């Protein structure tokens, strides 16, 4: 496991630590030109603040989260996906706070793109648990480029303090499976990663990117028209996992949720006859009936789960 410490906006941090039960956050970057490859999925991303008021110590670690993914999104879609979990009370507040960092002239109506570092299981320590960021230099402007390895002195120092901070706030089991990480290191001599528990926003972004920002059925790629659909609804114990998702054009999403469209476990698209019977229409949709779903994620584990598709066929499709 690698650990990254990113310089954190104090207002962003203070706003989010005041939200009870928060399950994910968007650690935004004001420019869409920057990427983020310092750590991988399941690694630890920490919040580095400028100063601890209590100790007067500079460059302190005050919290963090589990890295899920990085994506570039129009600001409107970032707000739609994460709402106040962007660290702002409203869309206009988020936009207002981003503009000073962009250093370019902006059209007040422009839906500009931002970088989104998506973190799950966020934690915010009480100030008594803040600790100094090791090996920190004044020249660092975003974060420590190569991060920290868990097996180094600096990495062990950070991991120890993170464990103590989580334990001190009774969060160890709830947020990070620290016991499993330590057991795997002892047993196999390797540095494990933490499995991110996706929230709704992280699920939406992960599905969007897994489908290369194109509708699974129509291959439409106008991003504002696309939505991440759960195959088995979250409210019925369907997980926030890419394999339980399809990226669909908004009208197809609504029809899929209501059972007028389904995808079989063999990846065949089916359109219910009831669409025509009940609405005397459907001519825009019936041409897709019987077609094979050919647009799906490259990664095998992210492709639609046959078990979830079977559930939708048997429990949602109107047939």
Q: What pLDDT score was predicted for residue 188?
A: 47
**In which band, very low, low, confident or very high, does the pLDDT at 141 lie, cut at 50, 70 and 90?**
low
CA distances for 142 relative to 29, 129, 196, angstroms: 9, 23, 23
As a whole number of angstroms, the distance between CA 41 and CA 233 comes to 24
Q: What pLDDT score was predicted for residue 100?
A: 82
Match 């030109």 to its residue by tokens.
33
With DSSP H G I counted as helix, E B as strand and the rest as coil, what are the percentages for the chain, rounded to 5? Answer: 35, 25, 40
pLDDT > 70 fraction of the chain, expressed in percent and rounded: 88
Strands 24-29 and 148-149: unpaired
Asked if the model's pLDDT at residue 187 lies above 90, the reply is no
Query: Architecture of 2-188 per CATH?
Result: Roll (2.30)
Domain range summary for the chain, segments of one domain joined by +: 2-188, 200-315
**In which band, very low, low, confident or very high, does the pLDDT at 56 lie, cut at 50, 70 and 90?**
low
**Taking the model in full, what pTM does it have?**
0.87
The string of DSSP letters for 226-260 reads EEEEESS-GGGT--S-GGGEEEEEHHHHHHHHTTS
Per residue in 64-95, pLDDT (tens digit) is: 999 999 999 999 999 999 999 999 999 999 99
Q: Are 147 and 38 in contact (CB under 8 A)?
A: yes
């Amino acid at each position: 496991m690698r650990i990254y410490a990113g310089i954190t906006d104090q207002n962003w941090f203070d706003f989010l630590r005041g939200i009870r039960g928060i399950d994910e956050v968007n650690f935004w970057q004001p420019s869409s030109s920057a990427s983020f490859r310092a750590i991988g999925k399941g690694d630890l991303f920490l919040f580095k603040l400028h100063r601890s008021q209590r100790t007067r110590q500079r460059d302190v670690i005050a919290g963090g989260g589990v890295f899920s993914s990085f994506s570039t999104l129009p600001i409107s879609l970032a707000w739609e996906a994460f709402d106040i979990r962007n660290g702002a009370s409203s869309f206009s507040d988020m936009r207002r706070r981003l503009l000073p960092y962009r250093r370019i002239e902006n059209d007040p109506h422009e839906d500009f793109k931002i970088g989104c570092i998506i973190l799950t299981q966020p934690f915010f320590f009480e100030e008594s648990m803040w600790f100094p960021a090791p090996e920190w230099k004044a020249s660092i402007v975003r974060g420590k480029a190569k991060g920290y390895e868990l097996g180094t002195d600096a990495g062990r120092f950070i991991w120890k303090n993170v464990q103590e901070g989580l334990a001190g706030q009774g969060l160890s089991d709830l947020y990070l499976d620290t016991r499993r990480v330590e057991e795997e290191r002892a047993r196999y001599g390797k540095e494990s990663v933490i499995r991110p528990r996706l929230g709704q926003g992280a699920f939406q972004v992960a599905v969007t990117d897994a489908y290369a920002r194109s509708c699974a059925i129509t291959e439409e790629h106008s991003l504002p028209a696309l939505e991440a659909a759960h195959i088995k609804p979250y409210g019925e114990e369907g997980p926030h996992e890419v394999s339980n998702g399809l990226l669909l054009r908004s009208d197809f999403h609504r029809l899929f949720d209501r059972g007028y469209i389904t995808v079989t476990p063999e990846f065949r698209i089916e359109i219910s006859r009831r669409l025509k019977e009940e609405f005397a229409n459907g001519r825009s949709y019936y041409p897709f009936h019987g077609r094979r779903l050919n647009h799906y994620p490259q990664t095998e584990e992210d492709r639609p789960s046959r078990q979830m598709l079977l559930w939708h066929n048997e429990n949602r499709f109107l047939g």
